[in-house]
Amino acid sequence: MKIEVLRDITSANDAIAAQNRQILDKHNILTLNIMSSPGAGKTSLILQTIDRLKDELRLAVIEGDVASKIDADKIDKEGIPVVQINTGAACSLEAQMITPALNKLPLENIDLLFVENVGNLICPAEFALGEHKKVVISSIPEGDDKPTKYPLMFTEADAVIINKLDLLAHLEFDVTSFRKAIEGLNPKVKIFEVSCKTGAGIDAWCSWISTEARNERPPQKG
Partner 1 sequence: MHEFAITQSILNIVLDEAKAAQASKIYRINLVIGELSGVVSDSVQFYFDFLKKDNAAEGATIDFKQVPAELRCRDCSTSFNPKDSLWACPACQSSSVEVVSGRHCYVESIEVE
**Interaction site with partner 1 (CB under 8 A):** 1-13, 89-92, 94, 122-123, 125-127, 148, 151-152, 155, 180-181, 183-185, 187
Nearest C-alpha neighbor of 161 from the set 39, 42, 28? 42
Q: If you ran DSSP here, which 8-state letter would residue 76 be given?
A: H
User: How far apart are CB 57 and partner 1 at their closest, in Å?
Assistant: 33
8-state DSSP, 58: -
> Rounded to whole angstroms, what are the CA distances from 40 to 14, 78, 172, 183?
27, 21, 16, 20
Residue 104: count other Cβ atoms within 10 Å of its Cβ.
Answer: 13
Residue 150 or 208 having the CB closest to partner 1: 150
Pick the closer one to partner 1 by CB: 94 or 116.
94
In the complex, the smallest distance separating the C-beta of residue 218 from partner 1, rounded to whole angstroms, is 22
Cβ proximity to partner 1: between 23 and 90 the closer is 90
Nearest distance from C-beta of residue 67 to partner 1, angstroms: 17
Give whichever of 2 and 221 is closer to partner 1, judged by the CB atom.
2
Of 112, 122, 103, residue with least CA distance to 35: 122
The nearest distance, CB 39 to partner 1, in angstroms, is: 20
- By beta-carbon proximity to partner 1, the closer residue of 170 and 221 is 221
CB 89 → partner 1: shortest distance, Å? 8
Buried b (16+ CB within 10 A) or exposed e, 142-180: bebebbeebbebbebbbbbbbbbbeeeeeeebeeeebbe
